[in-house]
Homo-oligomer: A and B are copies of this chain.
Amino acid sequence: MHSFIYDIPTKLFFGDLDYSQLSKVIKQYGNNLLLVYGGESIKRNGLYEIIVETCLQTGIDISELSGVRPNPDIRTVREGIVICREKGIEVVLAVGGGSVIDVAKWIAAGVYVDFDPWDFFSKWAPVKKALPIITVVTISGTGSEMDCSGVINNCETNDKIGRSDYHIFPKASFLDPNLTKTVNRYHTACGAIDIFSHVVEVYFNLNRDLDMFDCVMESIMRTVLKYAPIALADPTDYEARANLMWSAPWAINGLTVGSKKQSWSSHKIEHQLSAYYPITHGEGIAIIMINWLKYCLNEKTVHKYAQFGKNVFSIQAERSEMAIALESISRLETFCFETLKLRRHLSDLGVGTDYFSEMANKACFSTAINGFITLKPEDVEAILQMSL
């Protein structure tokens, strides 16, 4: 058990979205706003109009960057940076899910550097500071609303890379479960398994750490198992939407990391997939996570799976650790592929073996992923093959 620093500065407004509160928070940071969002859904449901109206009424000038797509490309970040410079933007407001928020984060950081923002990812160029970021969340999943990470694609090079930096923590995020009632079945399922997978990446770890971290992670996983099916059965169930929405940021904001080493193995592999193919992260991560869990199970790691089985799936403790471990993986498969109705194989998503070797190398940065178990490119390729 080693030393660590806990530092999560994001303020959360949870429940009915208070628009006067939103404009008050924006005005704390400036009067010149860049509004970043995705497609037309926030126009259809009236959210766009209300936010714009509230901002204008309180004297906030608005510039817009719309059309942010899933697996957002670095070109969108570049576009946003140009607008910020031209318009003297002081605050960035992201209204959407993880893609929109991630784009907003790297725009906010990109404004302050004189190099191309892709250098943040390809060359690990330093983040100097960032414009204040505020978010209004419309789908529960990535948890980007309360973490300091953002993942960006580069379609020209088939790269998808995530990076963390303290400067890009949102100042405040507005989490209104009502806004997620219109999220469709498929994206609700993808978001739910994304939350679950973020916990899995930290939970399956051989470092010894504080008990409370594991307890919190088990609580988050149980929350997803309990409430995702309810939200699928009745999309307007406030309690289900609320529990999912609260779990998302806590699955990833760092509360449960403590002094553990993290590798984010499944995510490193899945990011390769959605760099090469236009697949939804949640659906890709479900397949990779399960096959990664199968691949990592051995005599040295089995105790963690047994703990997972007992505390998350309430599997009775009488059987051997290995039996509980196998049962827990099987239960998770049932949850992903039957309850959530996500597709079970990469081939179902149109993925072939063509780039597996290239992807495996990229996932390992040509060396290895040092995580729960160490994965070399050949291990990653094996996991991809198992997932096919």
Chain A contact residues, CB within 8 Å of chain B: 1-9, 11-16, 18, 208, 210-212, 215-216, 218-220, 222-223, 226-227, 238-239, 242-243, 246-247, 250, 258-259
**A219 and B212 contacting across the interface, CB-CB below 8 Å:** yes
User: In the complex, which of the residues B1, B239, B258 contacts A239, with contact meaning CB atoms closer than 8 Å?
Assistant: B1
**A210 and B13 contacting across the interface, CB-CB below 8 Å:** no
List B contacts of A259 (CB < 8 A).
15
User: In the complex, which of the residues B7, B12, B223, B226 contacts A11, with contact meaning CB atoms closer than 8 Å?
Assistant: B7
User: In the complex, which of the residues B2, B208, B220, B258 contacts A212, with contact meaning CB atoms closer than 8 Å?
Assistant: B220
Most B CB atoms within 10 A — which of A2, A5, A242, A250?
A5
List B contacts of A226 (CB < 8 A).
211
List B contacts of A212 (CB < 8 A).
216, 219-220, 223, 243, 246-247, 250
User: In the complex, which of the residues B7, B14, B210, B223 contacts A4, with contact meaning CB atoms closer than 8 Å?
Assistant: B14
Most B CB atoms within 10 A — which of A4, A8, A210, A223?
A210
**B211 and A223 contacting across the interface, CB-CB below 8 Å:** yes
List B contacts of A215 (CB < 8 A).
215-216, 218-219, 222-223
Alpha-carbon separation in the docked complex, A259 to B246 (Å): 13
Nearest-Cβ distance from residue A314 to partner chain B, whole angstroms = 12
Alpha-carbon separation in the docked complex, A341 to B21 (Å): 50
Alpha-carbon separation in the docked complex, A172 to B97 (Å): 31
**A5 and B9 contacting across the interface, CB-CB below 8 Å:** no
Q: Which residue of B lies closest to A222 (CB)?
A: B215
Alpha-carbon separation in the docked complex, A16 to B8 (Å): 20
Nearest-Cβ distance from residue A150 to partner chain B, whole angstroms = 22
Q: Name 20 interchain pairs, CB-CB below 8 A, sorted by A.
A: A1-B239, A2-B15, A5-B12, A6-B12, A7-B11, A8-B8, A208-B239, A210-B243, A211-B222, A211-B223, A211-B227, A212-B216, A212-B220, A212-B223, A212-B243, A212-B250, A215-B215, A215-B219, A216-B216, A216-B219
**B1 and A18 contacting across the interface, CB-CB below 8 Å:** no
Alpha-carbon separation in the docked complex, A11 to B227 (Å): 32
Nearest-Cβ distance from residue A25 to partner chain B, whole angstroms = 10
User: In the complex, which of the residues B5, B238, B239 contacts A14, with contact meaning CB atoms closer than 8 Å?
Assistant: B5
